[in-house]
Amino acid sequence: MERWLREAGYRVGAAEAEPDTEPVLVIADVPEPQSAEALIGALGQVYAAPILATSARFRRGLAGSAEAASRLGVKKVLPKPFTRKELLAAVREALAA
């Protein structure tokens, strides 16, 4: 994912590696639905940037993705597995929102 983003011209960094830099987008991997709200809530308290959540637990399809994004309070959700094209489209949409 990092390679795809860098190749597309995005600057990628881990929050721990660059603590003084405010991100323009946070990408969060949500491994379990039970922990999603707590994880997103914690990230939202730390970062003012929009959040793009990825997970194998998200359903494919516009309605399912929009519903999950709304419920979690994120700009966009991206079901796994995803292609490079899907990732870059999701990043653009999250940044445009």
**Which of 35-39, 48-52, 89-93 shows the lowest mean pLDDT across its residues?**
35-39
Q: What is the rounded end-to-end Cα distance, in angstroms, of the chain?
A: 21
> In this structure, what CATH number is given to the domain that contains residue 64?
3.40.50.2300
Q: Which residue has the higher pLDDT, 15 or 57?
A: 57
Q: What is the total count of domains within the chain?
A: 1
Kindly report, residue by residue over 31-47, the tens digit of the pLDDT: 887 788 899 999 999 88
Q: What is the reported pLDDT for 95?
A: 93
Average pLDDT over residues 13-29: 79
Average pLDDT over the chain reads 85
Neighbours of 49 (CB within 10 A): 17
Cβ pair 12, 24 in contact under 8 A: no
pTM of the model: 0.84
Which domain covers residue 16, as residue numbers?
A: 2-96
> For residues 36 and 72, what is the distance between their CA atoms, to the nearest angstrom?
7
